[in-house]
Amino acid sequence: MVSSPVVDTITGPSLQDLWKTRHDKTRYQWSSLGLLTPTFALLILLFLVPMGFAIYLGLTNLTLIGPTAVHSSFTGTENLIRLKGDATFWSSLWVTAIFIVGSIAGVVVLGYTLASLLMRATPWMRVVVGGIVVISWMMPAVTAGMTWYASTTGNGTFGTLLGHPNANLLDAQPLLVVTLASIWSMTGFSMLVMGAALRNIPSEAIEAAIVENASTWQRFRMIVLPLLRPTMTAIVLLTGLLALANFSLIYIMTQGGPGNSTNILPLYSYQQAFTYNNLAYGALIGNVMVVIATVFGVFYVRITARRL
C-alpha cells in the first residue's frame, strides 16, 4: 500500500487533498476530538470570546476613565457613524495600505534576491550574509525599532553613510523609513522559505532550460516563478498579516507621528483606546483590522485552492 501522498511540506497540502477520502479509514474518529480539546479550549476562551466581546465592545461607549468607564451602555451604530466621518481613521487606513504593500513588495523581492544569490555563493558568504539577514529577522521588535531610530535620526548610521550626518531621515520621510525597517525585520524569514523552495526545483529543469539557451529572465518566468508561486503566496499572506499587526516597531520609532504619517491602524486603535481613553472606539477600529485580515485569509485560501 502506498504511504501518504507526496506533499509539499512548505505550504501544506491543497484543500483538495484535505477533503480527499482515505480508503483505509472510513469511520469518523470522535475520540480524536479529545486530543484537540486543550487547543480548542484555549482558543475559544482566550480568542473567540474576546473577539466576540470586541465586536460587542465596539458598539458601546466604554471608556478607560470618565463617566462611562464604570457604567457603559450599548450605543448601537453610533460608533460606526463616527468611524465613517473620522478623517484620521481614513488617513490611517491609507497609511496602513501603503505600509502593507510596501512591506510585502520589499520582503518578496529582497527575499527572493537573497535566496537565489546566496544559493550560488560561497559557503562563507552564505554564512555571513545569510546569518546577518536572519539575525535581523530574529531581533525583537523593540530592539529593532530602537536601532532603526538611532540609525535614522540625527548623527545616525544611515545619515553618516549617505554623507549627511545631521540629517534626520526619520522626520523627513517617516513612512518610508518605517516601511524599510519593517522590510528589514521580515526579509530573513522570506529568504529562508524561498531558499527552501528554490532547492526543491529539480536541477534537471534548470539544466534543460540552459541547454535550450533560455535567458535568465526566461528561466525565471517559465520555470522558477510557477514553481515558486505557492511559496510566494504564503509569504505575501504572512508578511501582509504581520505588517497589518505591526505595533511595537512603529510605536518605538515614531509613536505614529509626526502628525499621522505613520499612524497605522493598530497604533490608531491603541491611541484611541489608551491615550484618548475611548476603549470602545479603539475596539471598533480593531474590528476593522480583523475584517481586513479575514479578507487576506480568504484570498489566500482561494488562491491556494486553485493551485495545480
Partner 1 sequence: MKGNEGKQMKVMLRGAIPRLIAGTAIIALSTASLATGVVSQAGASSKVTISVAYAANTTFDTTPLGLTWWTQVKKEFETKYPNVTVNLDAVPGGEPDFLTKLALLYHSTSTAPTLAQFPSTEIALYQSTGYLANMNKYLTTTSWFKSYPKVIQNEGKIGGKIYAVSSGENNVGLYYDKSILQKAGIALPWQPKTWADIISAAKKIKAAEPKIIPLWVDAGTSAGPNGAGYGILNLLAGSSTPTIETSSGKMVVSSKGLTQTLDFFHTVFADGLGAPTSQLFSPNNAPNIPSTDFFKGTLGIAVGANFLGGNWTKQVSFPYWAKASTAMGVAGLPKINGGGYASTLSGWDYGMSSTASAAQLTAAGEFMNVAQEQTNLIEAGNWAGWVPPVQSDWTVPLYTNFAAPFNEEFGKLLPSSSELPSNANYNVWVQGIEEASGNIAQKPSTTGAQALATMKGFVTNQLGASAVVSLP
Partner 2 sequence: MTQNDSASTSGVATALLSDEPIRPPENRQTQRTLARRLTLHTILAGLGILFLAPMLWLFLASIDSQASWGIEWPHFSLINFRHVLTGSLLHSLWNSVVLAVISTTIASVAGVFAAYSLSRRRIPFKGPLILFIIFSSGVPLAIMVIPVYEIFSRFGFLSILPTAVFLSVTSLPFEVYLMKNFIDAVPTDLEEAARMERASTFQVLRRVVIPLALPGIAAAAIFGFVNAWGSFVVPLILISPANQQPAPIAIYTFLTLPKAQFGNIAAYSLIFCVPVFILYAVSSRLFREGFVLGGGVKG
From partner 2, partner 1, none, interface partner of 111 (C-beta below 5 to 8 A by class)? none
From partner 2, partner 1, none, interface partner of 190 (C-beta below 5 to 8 A by class)? none
Q: And the C-alpha cell for 278?
A: 475611548
Q: Least separation, in Å, of the C-beta of 223 and partner 2?
A: 13
Q: Which lies closer to partner 2 via its Cβ, residue 24 or residue 67?
A: 24
Q: Does 299 bind partner 2 (CB under 8 A)?
A: no
Find the DSSP H helices in the chain.
15-19, 32-43, 49-57, 78-84, 87-119, 123-138, 141-152, 157-161, 169-172, 174-199, 203-211, 216-219, 225-245, 248-254, 265-270, 279-306
Q: Least separation, in Å, of the C-beta of 209 and partner 2?
A: 12
From partner 2, partner 1, none, interface partner of 69 (C-beta below 5 to 8 A by class)? partner 1
SS3 state of residue 152: helix
Residue in 89, 99, 112, 184 binding partner 2, rule: CB under 8 A: 184
Site for partner 2 in 69-108 (CB under 8 A): none
Q: Least separation, in Å, of the C-beta of 81 and partner 2?
A: 20
At a CB cut-off of 8 Å and minimum separation 6, what does 140 contact?
none
| Type of residue numbered 186 | M
CA angle 188, 189, 195 (to 5 degrees): 90
Q: Least separation, in Å, of the C-beta of 186 and partner 2?
A: 12
Site for partner 2 in 6-45 (CB under 8 A): 7-13, 15, 18-19, 22, 25-29, 32-33, 35-36, 38-40, 42-43
Site of interaction with partner 1 (CB under 8 A) = 63-67, 69-70, 82, 85-88, 149, 153-154, 168, 171, 255, 257-259, 274-277
At a CB cut-off of 8 Å and minimum separation 6, what does 254 contact?
170, 174, 178, 261, 262
Site for partner 2 in 227-246 (CB under 8 A): 237, 241, 244-245
Q: Which lies closer to partner 2 via its Cβ, residue 232 or residue 283?
A: 283
Distance, in Å, from the CA atom of 247 to the CA atom of 76, rounded to the nearest integer, reads: 29
Estimate to the nearest angstrom the gap between the alpha carbon of 203 and the chain centroid. Answer: 31
